[in-house]
Structure 1
Amino acid sequence: MSVTELQELVRFLEDRFACAQACTECARACALRASLADLDGPADQQLIRRKGILCAEVCDTTCRLLAEQVTESEDVMRTQVEWCRAVCLETADVFDLGRDGGRDRDRGLGAGPGLGPEAQVEAHVGAEAGVEAGVEAGAEESARVCRDCARVCSEFLDLLR
């Protein structure tokens, strides 16, 4: 193995670990955010809870794949990390909508291209319902952690290409 090949391997492993670590942090933040939402609450809280749980599960699975399953194919790894990135961005958008009660949506900043049609409708309905202080507290930080995870996933995907 040449020095260049060794350096590339080291970079791959470092970026893989960084991605796994970002996924772990995001899973924790999303699980916390979901636990603060009222299961029987308004539509916005239900959406926050569903997206938070989904994001936590996808991030946890991605972390385990990156940290434990050394023999997975590059295609499987790429697909999982791409999915993780997309879910993180959608979840961050939902957390932002919950935080500002839809004010950014009214300016065209909330339910952006990261959300599919169904999620945009849910986000719109949720934003109309308002948000209780318990769900609102820490939403900005949770959205930031989701976006950080998506950024690190993108960086790792660039390495896989």
Structure 2
Amino acid sequence: MTSTSQQDLVRFLEDRFACAQACTECARACALRASLVDPGGADEQELLRRKGIMCAEVCDATCRVLAEQNTLDEDGVRIQLDWCRAVCLETAHVFDGQQGAQDAADHCRACARACTAFLHTLG
């Protein structure tokens, strides 16, 4: 039988990995979506491009925080996760209704859910 502390550690590691993986997938989807938009296009297209780039950068940074041994304390990790969650939800909203952007919006929402789950694991 596994002790509670071992179960908590396994859950922590699983949720951390799931969040990092969701961030990687979201960053890839957002970078691809942003690359398909011509710079200097209509205001709506420019917003989509800028949000896609920002989300890719924030997700990439969050993945690095979760994957590397870094100097961020638990509060710093929480702030990074909360920022990533917020940016992902904003980006998903911008992607909604845009032709060909639904897959990227889905990845953004999945990343936001993974960040939320890991935040809950942190307590």
TM-score normalised over the length of structure 2: 0.94
Amino acid paired to 2:121: L
Structure 1: 5+ residue runs without aligned partners?
100-135
Residue 120 of structure 2 is matched in structure 1 by 158
Alpha-carbon distance in structure 2 between the residues aligned to 1:91 and 1:33? 11
Alpha-carbon distance in structure 2 between the residues aligned to 1:75 and 1:3? 27
Q: Determine whether 1:41 maps to 2:41.
A: yes
Secondary structure of 2:40's match?
coil
What CA deviation, in whole Å up to 9, does each residue of 1:94-142 have, x standing for no partner? Answer: 0014x1xxxxxxxxxxxxxxxxxxxxxxxxxxxxxxxxxxxx22x0111
Alpha-carbon distance in structure 1 between the residues aligned to 2:70 and 2:49? 32
Structure 2: 5+ residue runs without aligned partners?
none
Corresponding pairs, count: 122
Residue 60 of structure 1 is matched in structure 2 by 60
Residue 147 of structure 1 is matched in structure 2 by 109
What CA deviation, in whole Å up to 9, does each residue of 1:15-63 have, x standing for no partner? Answer: 0010000000000000001001110110011001100000000000000
Cα drift, residue 72 of structure 1: 2.6
Residue 133 of structure 1 is matched in structure 2 by none
Alpha-carbon distance in structure 2 between the residues aligned to 1:11 and 1:70? 20
Cα drift, residue 160 of structure 1: 1.1
Secondary structure of 2:41's match?
coil
Q: Determine whether 1:23 maps to 2:60.
A: no
TM-score normalised over the length of structure 1: 0.73
The ranges of structure 1 where at least 4 consecutive aligned residues each deviate by more than 2 angstroms after the TM superposition are 69-72
Alpha-carbon distance in structure 2 between the residues aligned to 1:69 and 1:19? 16
Amino acid paired to 1:9: L
Alpha-carbon distance in structure 2 between the residues aligned to 1:75 and 1:35? 33
Percent of residue pairs bearing the same amino acid type: 66
Cα drift, residue 71 of structure 1: 4.7
Residue 117 of structure 1 is matched in structure 2 by none
Cα drift, residue 69 of structure 1: 2.5
